[in-house]
Every structure is written in C-alpha cells, then in structure tokens.
Amino acid sequence: MSIIKHFFENNFNVPTKFRSRVEVYILNHEQKKLVVGRWVDNEFIDVPGGGIDEFKNMLDAVKQETLEELGVEIKNISKLDVQPYKLDWYEKQEEGKELDQFEKEKMKKYRGLITHFYLADFVKFNNKILGRDAGSMMNPEFMKIKDIIQCFLRQQNHTEWIYNKRIEILRNLREKLNWE
C-alpha cells in the first residue's frame, strides 16, 4: 500500500466496506441462447444484476434482480466457479480514472463493489414484476453467446470495469456448453 493511500485512508474516513452485488447468466437450453436485457435509454445490452441489500442473501438477490430488471423467472441457480470481481473506487480515482455519478454517490458509504457471478435456467417471462427497479432493463431478449461477446466488446469503452470479466465468463460458458 502506498504511503499516500495509507495516509488518505486513515485521515479522511475512507469506507472500508465493499458492497456485494450479483450478476446472473440465464440459459435458455431450448434455443441455446442466453437471456439478456437491452437498456431502454441507450440500447446497450446487459445481464441482470445489482447490489445485495444487507438483509438479503445472494440467491434472493439473483431472483429479485432477474424479476425486476427482465421480468424473468429462473431455476437451478448456481454460483459460477470464478473469482468475484472487485472494484475499488478509491484505487480507480488514484489511477486518474473518472468516476460516474453512481460511484461518487455510493463511495460515501462503500469503498467499492464485489461482484459474484451466478448461472440459472430460464423458466418464463413474468411481466407483472418487470420494471420495479429504477434502472430497469425493459427489453429482454434471447441472444447467442457469440453475439453477446461482440456487443460487450463494442460497449467496453463505456463502463470498462467489468467487461473483461464478463467476456471471460461468456467464452468459458460457450466452450462448456458447446453453444455458438
């Protein structure tokens, strides 16, 4: 740890707690595709995910995020055998990278995010729940893994912090499942 970082953390009330969050990769075995969401405001695709409130466990968070963001019911939830992704907002700032508004607001309480990755099977759409999350992805769709990878490669510049990990997960899934 650098001397500056140590000084900063000990003298300016830098939070030490990281906020846990989940992301879920939803398989549609029948079509050999994943369920993703297309953001309404900018047409980017994404996988459902979000922060875990302190009263929720990870499996409940996985179910809730997929319902709120995509209106999708899932089953057979399992944790992917990959290292969680850790993003330290203070390190990001120290490296001279710009923080977005969400990060600036959350860093008042948290030091950063730790993302845990899950896999689940698609059951059905349930539009009664869709849209309860303020940042909802309102347009769920089925996509081939190779197409999701291509979209993520194009989107990487916008929120680069997690795309390399997502692409790695998708490539491993494609190989394991032997899907396009």
Per-residue model confidence as pLDDT tens digits over 123-155: 998 866 555 555 556 688 999 999 999 999 988
Q: How far apart are CA 7 and CA 23, in angstroms?
A: 34
Q: What does pTM read for this prediction? A: 0.86
C-alpha to C-alpha distances, 173 to 9, 14, 56, 119, 144, nearest whole angstrom? 39, 37, 27, 10, 11
Contact 18, 52 (CB under 8 A): no
pLDDT of residue 169: 96
Query: What one-character DSSP code corresponds to residue 159?
Result: S
180 found inside a domain = no
Q: How far apart are the first and last CA of the chain?
A: 43
Residue 5 has pLDDT above 60, yes or no: no
How many separate domains does the chain show?
Answer: 1
Contact 21, 51 (CB under 8 A): yes
More reliable by pLDDT, 160 or 107: 107
21 found inside a domain = yes
Q: How far apart are CA 112 and CA 172, in angstroms?
A: 26
Roughly what angle, to the nearest 10 degrees, separates helices 145-155 and 163-177?
Answer: 170
Binned at pLDDT 50, 70 and 90, residue 74 comes out as very high
pLDDT, tens digit, 9 for 90 and up, residues 15-72? 999 999 999 999 999 999 999 998 877 678 999 998 887 667 899 999 988 988 888 9
88-102, 131-145, 159-173: least confident range: 131-145
CATH number at residue 88: 3.90.79.10
Structural domain that includes position 119: 3-144
